[in-house]
Amino acid sequence: MDESIGLDPLKYFFEPKQVALVGATEKLGFGYGQTRTLIERESGRRLFLINPSKATVFGRRTYARISDLPGRADLAVLIVSSPKVPAILREWAAKGGKTAIIQSAGFAEIGARGRSLQEEISTIAQETGLRIIGPNCVGLVNTANGFSTTETTPEAMTPGPIGVIAQSGVFGNILMDWGPEQGVYFSKVVTLGNRCDVDESELIRYLGRDAQTRVIALYLEGVKDGRRFMAAVREVAPDKPIIILKSGRSSAGRAATVSHTGTLSGNDEIYSGVFSQVGVLRADNIQELFDLAKALTIRPLPKGKRIAILTTSGSLGAMTADVCADHGLALAELSAETIQAVRADAPPWMNVKNPLDIGPSGLFGRTLDRLMQDPRVDAVIAIFVIPWMIVQSVEAQGLTPQQFLGDLAGSPKYWGNKPLLVSIIGKQALKTMALSITQGKVPVISTPENAVRALAAMIEYQMRTSG
């Protein structure tokens, strides 16, 4: 594949003007959700349904075969059984189709028979120039134009800064289900499946150019082509942080990836070396992938490693200090001015130190402000842990969360020069409240430990890109 001309055709995947759905069905089961979604989200596009044995699907006319279509089409979405796929692709290429997403399973992941079928479709792609995503995937989502080839919740279609490339289809669905509850919103989500043609390297470059994407999050079982991958990452990572979650670290995990997407996931130590060499940040699990992605969308990055911890629980303050030490971050020594100013407000039982435990003083907003303005502090982690009964009684007094906890969405304008990460422990309702106050301007991280990890990742990224 020639990289110089490899980028533009991918646009037809994300911004097709005409879409043909091959295998459209209103029968419950595989294909039902895709059909319904493409119909519901047709707006501004033209959708053709193809089904040789039913004249209508969901009350809309169908075409028996691709050759019957009235005009050209950019993208075909295939949800037919795997043995039918090669012939349909040839028809599609003959019709002038530019791209195809194969959602059907039954290829390299099921052994020899499937492998030969997959080789056949790879050959078709090479011979005809048709670009293919899949097979064995759920396609993609583009929140900017509301286009989706997979069923999602409405919240998952809210535009955001995080671009996702996931090798597995279900995995993409999980991220889209879980993300919005955590304040994670997507620009584009692509699932790769068995990668008979389009791979992560091409998509990294594509998302690198995508105006909506500020951070790229990857889930991979293995890299398809190591040299292409390294070249793509080297090109894109200086502008946009790339975070990877990779399975197949152990031999048992590697065996599992072969039967999942037919991937040889390779030696993990080699991967670790390569990732760190080209500046890819690594996450250990989905929660960490989300937390790092959220943190890395914000700017500025920390200018140093001196962290201040603001907490309403001394225990969590102490545990967070432990995790800072694990990650080589230092606790900031607060300036004399900050200490004096905080002491002036503080009740007598309050210890003015870092971590700064304000207990039930209610001084959250004001103290946060002082820490953010301390020149000896490079970044602040604010741990919101407020017993729910107290939250309720504060609300019963008519105070808004902003009055109680500080105007987290408004303040950063004048704080300006350093990052703030907020972390919540407790009820989902408290997390939802924090998300409503921060309005995506301050990342709300799942746990104080992950806030430290996210800061460590921000510092690592900062050092690489500024050095």
CB of 72 to its own copies, least distance (A): 31
Q: Given candidates 181, 239, 337, 395, which one binds its own copies under the rule CB under 8 A?
A: 181
Residue type for position 91: E
Q: Given candidates 287, 335, 373, 436, which one binds its own copies under the rule CB under 8 A?
A: 287
Q: Between the CA atoms of 2, 5, 6 and 8, what dihedral angle is there, to the nearest 10 degrees?
A: -170
Q: Which stretch binds its own copies (CB under 8 A): 5-13, 157-165, 310-318, 456-464?
A: 310-318
CB of 445 to its own copies, least distance (A): 13
Q: Given candidates 53, 70, 112, 349, which one binds its own copies under the rule CB under 8 A?
A: 349
CB of 105 to its own copies, least distance (A): 4
The residue (of 127 and 284) whose beta carbon lies closer to its own copies is: 284
Residues 6+ away with beta carbon under 8 Å from 247: 219, 220, 221, 253, 256, 257, 265
Q: Is 444 in the site for its own copies (CB under 8 A)?
A: no
> Which token pair is 119?
């080789």
The residue (of 248 and 443) whose beta carbon lies closer to its own copies is: 248
CB of 341 to its own copies, least distance (A): 19
Site for its own copies in 204-223 (CB under 8 A): 219, 221
Q: Is 118 in the site for its own copies (CB under 8 A)?
A: no
Kindly state the number of chain residues that form the binding site for its own copies, as judged by CB under 8 A. Answer: 80
Site for its own copies in 78-97 (CB under 8 A): 82
Asked if 190 and 203 touch (Cβ cutoff 8 Å), the reply is yes
Q: Is 449 in the site for its own copies (CB under 8 A)?
A: yes
> Which token pair is 400?
């808004």
Site for its own copies in 38-77 (CB under 8 A): none
Q: Peptide bond preceding 238: is omega within 30 degrees of 0, i.e. cis?
A: no
What are the residues facing 142 on neighbouring strands? 147, 188
Distance between CA atoms of residues 144 and 212, nearest Å = 8
The residue (of 388 and 414) whose beta carbon lies closer to its own copies is: 388
Q: Is 401 in the site for its own copies (CB under 8 A)?
A: no
Q: Is 417 in the site for its own copies (CB under 8 A)?
A: no
Distance between CA atoms of residues 143 and 128, nearest Å = 30
Distance between CA atoms of residues 379 and 372, nearest Å = 8
CB of 287 to its own copies, least distance (A): 7
Find the helix or strand (DSSP H, E) in which 174 lies.
helix 169-178
DSSP-assigned states of every residue in 351-411:
--SSSEE-GGG--HHHHHHHHHH-TT-SEEEEEE---HHHHHHHHHTT--HHHHH--TTTT
Distance between CA atoms of residues 8 and 384, nearest Å = 46
Q: Given candidates 30, 39, 144, 369, which one binds its own copies under the rule CB under 8 A?
A: 30
Q: Is 269 in the site for its own copies (CB under 8 A)?
A: no
Q: Is 145 in the site for its own copies (CB under 8 A)?
A: no
Q: Is 316 in the site for its own copies (CB under 8 A)?
A: yes
CA R_g for the chain: 25
Q: Is 331 in the site for its own copies (CB under 8 A)?
A: yes
Q: How far apart are the first and last CA of the chain?
A: 33
Q: Given candidates 39, 144, 231, 385, which one binds its own copies under the rule CB under 8 A?
A: 385
Q: Is 319 in the site for its own copies (CB under 8 A)?
A: yes
For helices 314-326 and 448-466, the axis angle rounded to 10 degrees is: 40
The residue (of 248 and 412) whose beta carbon lies closer to its own copies is: 248
Site for its own copies in 238-257 (CB under 8 A): 245, 247-257
What are the residues facing 198 on neighbouring strands? none
Q: Given candidates 67, 116, 126, 153, which one binds its own copies under the rule CB under 8 A?
A: 153
CB of 189 to its own copies, least distance (A): 12
Asked if 361 and 402 touch (Cβ cutoff 8 Å), the reply is no
